[in-house]
Amino acid sequence: MMNLKRSFALLASVFILNSAVAQQQRMVDFVGGARSIMTNNQLLVRDSLADTSTVKRNTGGYALIDLGVNIRPNSTTEILGTFRIRNNYGGFWGAGVTVDVRELWLKGIIGNIVRYQVGDLNLKQTPFTFYNHHADRFDSLPSIFSLQNDIVRYEHFYSNNTWRSQGANVNFGFSFSRGLEEINFNAYTTRLKASNFSTIPDRLFSGATVNVVQSNHFEINYNLATVFDVKGTATATNNFHNTVNTFNTSYGATIGAFDWKISGEAGESNYAYSEAPDTADLIDYFIYVKGEINWKAKHLSINGGYLNVGPDFRSIGAQSKDVNYSALTNYYERYTNSQSLRPYSLYDLLNNDAIYNTEISTETAHIDASVNNVMPYGIATFNRVGGFVGLNYSHPNGFYITATHFKLNEIRGQGTTSLKDFTSTELNACVEVNKFLNLKNTIKVQGGSTYMTSVRIGNISLEDVDLKTTKHQVGAEVEVSKGLDLLFGIVSLSSKGNEFIAERNIYTVADYFNKVEYKLNQSFTAYGIRYRFDSKIYICGLFQHTKYADGFHTNVDYAVDQFSLIYNMTF
Amino acid sequence: MKKYFFLVFITLSLTACRKEKDTYEGVSIQELYSDFLLLDNFKVDKDSVDFANGENATFSAKFNKPVNWTITITGQTSKARKIITGQSKTIDISNGKWNGSTTDFPMFTKEHCVALLKIENVVDSFTVSTNIKTLKVNPGFVIADFENGFNPAWTKFVQSGANMDFNIKSDSLCPQGAKYLKMAGTVNWDYLIGLIDFPATAYGTAKTFPLNTNPDNVYFNCLIYGVPNTNESIILFQFKEDEDGNGTYNNATTDDQYDYQITVNWSGWKLISIKYSDLVSLSNGQPTTPHGNSIHNPNKLAKISMLHLANPSNGFASSKLDYIIFTDAPLEP
């Protein structure tokens, strides 16, 4: 309660400060958002014996406000502090109320040349150095699923493939009148882990990019991303480092009716512990090349490329996963009479922020082969070589289509000299029917499919792998009157076949292969009605039904029904 | 620009064929999922082990594939158990060494021991036996193992409640040596059931315990027994430092007191270990600031008080205590 009182006192002071200065110059702004979610849930367990141990129904929810105070004490400095006040429904008289600092940063310009930011940072570099790939995310998700998925992304600061970090970032550049257009420098350093003064040293993540722009057509960058332990910050002496050096470049031109562009990135990595065995000292390289041709008149672009990421290429900034498959779901966490852990489902993947990471990890993140076995760490997935093609069609009358196809294989076998072949084919489309029919109210239909295969013909049949994963999503959004939308969507995921999942030690070296077999069918259906007060405020009622079925009965089948009422605003 | 394309072409040509067809990562799947075979029998390198003089017993075996294995060594007289686990193709000195320590109490005595090797997903198990010639020695400063009864320089206070028992016992429950302290009773007006003060002067003429000056290198350890189906006991250790060296601990003004409160919510014997620098000062169970220099000085420790507490509204509470010892690393009994 004391913290709560202090926070209110602080906020009151800031309001007074704002009022005082408002007459002269607007130096303090308030930004943020507010949200309220109420849910009513029911679990259905399809066990051979009725599950009498699990409480099947529950209601819950919370209300929260994120109040950001944006202060500009002078023309070159800006400060943002965001406080979060959250109250779980059922908490009253202060019980269940939490007050946190959600965000804090300071940025400015030194000498009109160097821009800096300290505190919380949203950082990314290139897809092979520091990048949040969201590799298991469903692309082109129907609008109805975006409502809660956007909340997960907001909660974990996922925006434009960035990772949330704490540290400092500086950048500056020079312009030239001939030869080169400009050279830009960007550097950052963040702390991944704080020392416990004995076994864990301070672990920092630093990086830099030098961007040389020759013209609008050609530019080249040097990128460095390095994670390292600071010697002497702990009594333990087994220090870690992972250094990635890359060059990326792009060249573009217009020839006739076509804009074409070729881009690529190549580099090497070094991943080692100072006292680890030699086998754990991993050095490797990667090459990525992509060509694109854009036929503007026909609203069509095609692309193709080549990818070669070595089996020992390690870049923890690019190979950390947003989904933590080892995390507890915190939502019907246990079920059945034996109170076994509930396996996560499509509901958790799309809606449950408990299984998502905010920070990157220095160990190889667990993957779920049933969701994505082809490129579980995005295009930075190690041990992949092959090519890809893609197509984008975007008609001004509201018809969009994207298609990609990857054909990859392993470079080094996993537990056998036989190599796996991978394919991934994805097709997404969206039709804005109102634009075709020249209607005022929005009518949008979305759909997409992904088909992934992993195949290995082993030296003996025991080594064979044959895994197929299929994802489908369909949805619609109909504006029945101004601001009032009807929403519908269904997503399905099925995985059939077998795979050997590598268990990797702390040095990311495989020391065991777990044989897994899948016969999973999952679906997630949602219906909703939403009223948009304006572009930043809406209220929505949603009914969602999740179904999880395991044909091998390794896990007991279940379904979850959820009704939720969501009020969301940003300001 | 031609050079640019040429460079890309050369790079692709050099790397496109990268495939490591003759090597693979990790253990062989063929081997991993083949039938289990014991290639070298399960053995122990000594018939009789002199742990007191630093000897170890080393177990060995070799399998045709990596397996999850467990060796359970059981004392045939004491029923003490030591459990060693691993995942490997071989058991050898790197992963199969036993220094005479115990996993499940009581601690081993000089006795005949049988080691049982079990492999995950394998029906057969394998046994070898050895004898303990001398017991493992735990270097450190023993505050109390109760083997010689109560030290007359200790101070004991026991409330006058019902069914009070604050005495040294000798029975089959003893985890170390032959004796331990039993603490039990009903005190329905106070948390305190009984206490014992262990002053440094009880161990010689020095005013403080002979401990290292670095609090990161001093560990406090003891064995505590939770009595099944009995109300929770709380055992509170108070570590009283004599900051000014006047021979007297003075909580009210100049001296530090650090505390370690243990809620006994388990059944059976359990090893408790804590680094001296991790001790905090408590007031009614809540962290507070000590009254001295607020620096952990184990070399200035003048007295340890052990209080056996219980919620008075709960009724009868009971627990047992043995082998209170300071070591320079967590005790491996």
The helix/strand/coil state of B204 is: coil
Which chain B residues contact residue A386 at CB under 8 A? Answer: none
Buried b (16+ CB within 10 A) or exposed e, A289-310: bbebebeeeeeebebebbbbbb
Q: Which of B8, B33, B216 sits opposite A264 (nearest CB)?
A: B8
pLDDT at A522 over 90: yes
Q: Would you call B23 and A413 a contact, using CB atoms and an 8 Å cutoff? A: yes
Q: Before B106, cis peptide (omega within 30)? A: yes
Contact (CB, 8 A) for B255 and B243: yes
Largest alpha-carbon pair distance within chain B? 99
* pLDDT 10s digits, A66-81: 999 999 999 999 999 9
* pLDDT value for A48: 79
Residue among A264, A265, A276 at smallest CA distance from A236: A276
Cβ neighbours around A113 below 10 Å, total: 9
Kindly report the number of other CB atoms within 10 A of residue B285's CB atom: 13
Q: Is A411 on the interface with B (CB under 8 A)?
A: yes
pLDDT at A96 over 70: no
Q: Which residues pair with A409 in a beta bridge?
A: A385, A421
At the fourth CATH level, the homologous superfamily of domain B141-327 is Galactose-binding lectin (2.60.120.430)
Q: What is the pLDDT of residue B3?
A: 57
pLDDT given at position A394: 94
Between CA A533 and CA A540 the distance in angstroms is: 11
The answer to whether A311 faces chain B, any CB pair under 8 Å, is yes
Q: What is the pLDDT of residue A52?
A: 86
CA distance A489 to B221: 60
Q: Is the pLDDT of residue A21 over 80?
A: no
Chain B residues whose CB is inside 8 A of the A509 CB are: 25-26
What phi and psi, each to the nearest 5 degrees, are found at residue B2?
Answer: -60, -35
User: From the CA of A226, how many Å to the nearest CA of chain B?
Assistant: 25
Lowest mean pLDDT among A8-22, A57-71, A126-140: A8-22
Q: Report which of A95, A307, A318 is spatially closest to residue A227, judged by C-alpha positions.
A: A318
DSSP string spanning A248-305?
Answer: EEEEEEEETTEEEEEEEEEEEEEEEETTS-GGG-EEEEEEEEEEEEEEGGGTEEEEEE
Q: Looking at residue A4, what is its pLDDT?
A: 43
The gap from C-alpha A215 to its chain's centroid, in whole angstroms, comes to: 32
Q: CA nearest B21 in A: which residue? A: A417
B1 interfaces chain A, CB cutoff of 8 Å: yes
Q: Which of B11, B19, B21 sits opposite A287 (nearest CB)?
A: B11
- Among B21, B30, B216, beta carbon nearest to A462: B30
**Segments of chain B assigned to CATH 2.60.120.430:** 141-327
Q: How close, in Å, is residue B6 to chain A by CA atoms?
A: 13
Task: Provide, as residue numbers in chain A, all residues whose Cβ is less than 8 Å from the Cβ of B24.
Answer: 412-417
Nearest to A135 by CA among A274, A261, A322, A267: A322
Give Cβ neighbours of residue A426 (< 8 Å, ≥ 6 apart).
Answer: A139, A402, A403, A404, A405, A448, A449, A450, A451
Q: What is the pLDDT of residue A232?
A: 82
Could you say which of A306, A463, A502 has the minimum Cβ distance to residue B26?
A: A502
Task: Give me the DSSP letters along B74-119.
Answer: EETTT--EEEEEEEEEEESTTT-EE-S--SBSS---S-EEEEEEEE
Q: Is A477 exposed, middle or buried (0-12, 13-18, 19+ CB in 10 A)?
A: buried
Written as six digits, the tokens of A40 are 């009513």
Q: If pLDDT is split at 50, 70 and 90, which confidence band does A372 have?
A: very high
pLDDT at residue A23 in the model: 46
Q: What is the pLDDT of residues A445-478, one digit of tens each?
A: 999 999 999 999 999 999 999 999 999 999 999 9
Give the pLDDT score at B302: 93
Considering only residues 511 to 530 of chain A, which have any Cβ-Cβ distance to chain B shorter than 8 Å?
511-513, 515
Rounded to the nearest angstrom, the minimum Cα separation between B219 and chain A is: 15
- The residue of chain B with its CA nearest to that of A461 is B30
Q: Are A304 and A405 in contact (CB under 8 A)?
A: no
Chain B interface includes A457 (CB < 8 A):
no
Cα(B253)–Cα(B241) distance, integer angstroms? 12
How distant is the Cα of B60 from the closest Cα of chain A, in angstroms? 21
Beta pairing class for A510-534 and A484-504:
antiparallel
Is residue B125 a contact partner of residue B145, using CB atoms and an 8 Å limit? no
Average pLDDT (A179-195) is: 92
Radius of gyration in angstroms for the set of CA atoms belonging to chain A, rounded to a whole number:
26
B2 CB within 8 Å of a chain A CB? no
Contacts of B329 in chain A (CB under 8 A): none
A264 and chain B in contact, CB less than 8 A: yes
Judged by CB atoms closer than 8 Å, whether chains meet at A512 and B26 is answered as yes
- A510 contacts B8? CB cut-off 8 A: no
Using CA atoms, how far apart are residues B183 and B269, in angstroms rounded to an integer?
14
Per-residue pLDDT in tens (0 to 9) along chain B, 333 residues: 555 555 555 565 555 567 777 889 988 999 888 889 999 999 999 999 999 999 999 999 999 888 999 999 999 999 999 999 998 889 999 899 999 999 999 999 999 999 999 999 899 999 999 999 999 999 999 999 999 999 999 999 999 989 999 999 998 889 998 999 999 999 999 999 999 999 999 998 788 999 999 998 899 999 999 998 888 899 999 999 998 777 777 766 788 899 999 999 999 999 999 999 999 988 877 778 888 888 899 999 999 999 999 999 988 999 999 999 999 889 998
pLDDT higher for A89 or B99? B99
Residue of chain A with shortest Cα separation from B5: A262
CB pairs under 8 A between A and B: 88
- Judging by beta carbons within 10 Å of its beta carbon (0-12, 13-18, 19+), is residue A326 exposed, middle or buried? exposed
CB contact, 8 Å: B16 with chain A?
yes
Cα separation, A74 vs B29, in Å, equals: 65
* Confidence at residue A8, expressed as pLDDT on a 0 to 100 scale: 46
Is B25 an interface residue toward A (CB < 8 Å)?
A: yes
CA distance A507 to A526: 42
| The amino acid at B37 | L
**What is the distance in angstroms between the Cα of A111 and the nearest Cα belonging to chain B?**
38
- Contact (Cβ atoms closer than 8 angstroms) between residue B92 and residue B60: yes
> What is the token pair recorded at B295?
């620096």
Instruction: Please indicate whether, in this complex, the C-beta atoms of B20 and A311 are within 8 angstroms of each other.
Output: yes
Assess if CATH 3.50.50.60 describes domain B29-134: no
Contact check, Cβ <8 Å, A251/B1: yes
3-state SS assignment for residue A318: helix
CB contact under 8 A, B29 and A310: no
Domain with CATH 2.60.40.2550 in chain B: 29-134
pLDDT tops 70 at residue A558: yes
Task: Flag whether residue A458 sits within 8 Å of chain B, measured between CB atoms.
Answer: yes
Question: Do residues A367 and A87 touch, judged by C-beta distance below 8 A?
Answer: no
Q: Which of residues 80-99 of B touch A (CB under 8 A)?
A: 87
Residue of A nearest to B29 (CA): A415
Mutant choice from B2, B7, B11, B20 vs A, greatest count of A C-beta within 10 A? B20
What pLDDT does residue A427 have? Answer: 97
**Per-residue b/e over A127-158, b at no fewer than 16 CB within 10 Å?**
bbbbbbbbbbbbebbbbbbbbbbebbbbebbb
Best interface-test mutation with A: which of B25, B34, B65, B120 has the largest number of A CBs within 10 A? B25
Is the CB of A411 less than 8 angstroms away from the CB of B19?
A: yes
Q: Do B16 and A459 touch (CB under 8 A)?
A: no
Q: Which residues of A touch B4 (CB under 8 A)?
A: 251
Maximum mean pLDDT: which of A7-16, A287-296, B253-262 = A287-296
In chain A, the percentage of residues whose pLDDT exceeds 70 is 94
| pLDDT of res. B299 | 93
- Give the number of C-alpha atoms closer than 13 A to the C-alpha of residue B250, restricted to the C-beta side: 10
For A32: left if phi > 0, alpha if psi spans -120 to 50, otherwise beta; the answer is left
Residues in A touching B28 (Cβ below 8 Å): 415-416
| Whether pLDDT at A9 is above 70 | no
pLDDT tens per residue, range A217-250: 999 999 999 999 998 887 777 889 999 999 999 9
Whether residue A236 lies within 8 A of chain B, CB to CB, comes out as no
- Helix (H, G, I), strand (E, B), or coil: what is residue B298? helix
Contact of B243 with B251, CB cutoff 8 Å: no
Task: Give the integer Cα–Cα distance in Å for A28 and A81.
Answer: 11
Q: Which of A195, A449, A163 is nearest to A315 (CA)?
A: A163
Interface check B33 vs A, CB under 8 A: yes
* Minimum distance, in Å, between the CA of residue A486 and any CA atom of chain B: 50
Average pLDDT of the segment spanning A175-195: 92
Q: How large is the average pLDDT for residues A306-335?
A: 93
| Average pLDDT taken over every residue of chain A | 90
| Partner residues linked to A310 by β-bridges | none
Q: What length does chain B have?
A: 333
Pairing state of beta strands B219-226 and B317-327? antiparallel
Count of beta carbons in the 10 Å neighbourhood of residue B135: 18
pLDDT value for A22: 46
